[in-house]
Amino acid sequence: MSIYKSYAVFGLGRFGYAVAKELVASGAEVLAVDANEAVVNAVSGEIPLCKCADVTDPEVLDRLGIAGFDVVIVAMANSLEASVLTTTLCKELGVKNVIVKCANELQKKILTRVGADRVVFPESESGVRMAKNLLSSGFVDLMELSRGVSMIQLDVREEWAGKSILELNLRKKYAVNVVAIRKGASVDVNVRPDTVLDGDMKLIVIANSDRLNKLR
């Protein structure tokens, strides 16, 4: 189960729509907002809570109750001004997790400076993948290698620290195969069964997608 319960998605272009649709399909509480009424009408059948509104207006954000959402995804990279203003307003309202889509490195720097908790390039991260990352509590990253197989990077849990991979028997208990261990900038692909884990490590594992709930 995800640590996040509610999501607001601003901007329903290809990226924002993909994020919102995946979140809704997974049973999450999702508010989707776009300034174009035609866009809102086109997707309202798949995203039940969909509003036409200007999210650069602080009064609108207040009426929408944005302060009560766990995560806000700002997917309006075609307008840097709108993205900056919306990000700033969301942070002022106390939203703890604001993820913003951007178009280039300069936009990333600007958005980070005004408070964005995470900035993503849609060319390198699909909306579906980002939604699955948000829904996968405890997963640092998740990528589908094929229809039924995923590669995941996850933190070493507190109860795993000080124990070896063999001792934990992760393959049997969680149906995963550890293929690499990351520590800082170093990645070790020569994983030995007697490797003892510590809390600073991250495990890169491969698992069948339908078995991921065991890790959640």
Q: What tokens appear for 61 in the block? A: 């954000």
The predicted structure's pLDDT at residue 197 = 92
Query: Which of 1-15, 103-117, 121-135 bottoms out in mean pLDDT, i.e. has the lowest?
Result: 121-135
Full set of structural domains in the chain with CATH: 6-125 (3.40.50.720), 139-215 (3.30.70.1450)
pLDDT tens sequence across 12-22 = 999 999 999 98
3-class secondary-structure state, position 35: coil
Q: pTM for the complete prediction?
A: 0.65
Mean per-residue pLDDT, 108-135: 78
pLDDT band at 1 (very low <50, low <70, confident <90, very high): very low
Burial class (CB in 10 A: 0-12, 13-18, 19+), 26: middle
Distance CA 108, CA 162 (A): 38
User: Of residues 93 and 123, which shows the higher confidence score?
Assistant: 93
pLDDT tens sequence across 142-179 = 556 666 777 777 888 888 899 999 999 888 887 888 88
User: Of residues 132 and 174, which shows the higher confidence score?
Assistant: 174
The predicted structure's pLDDT at residue 184 = 77
Nearest to 165 by CA among 189, 202, 190, 191: 191
Across the chain, what does the average pLDDT equal? 85
User: Of residues 2 and 1, which shows the higher confidence score?
Assistant: 2
pLDDT at residue 105 greater than cutoff 90: no
pLDDT tens sequence across 35-88 = 999 999 999 999 999 999 999 999 999 999 999 999 999 998 788 999 999 999
Torsion of CA 169, 159, 216, 144, to 10 degrees: -60
Distance CA 90, CA 86 (A): 6
The predicted structure's pLDDT at residue 120 = 86
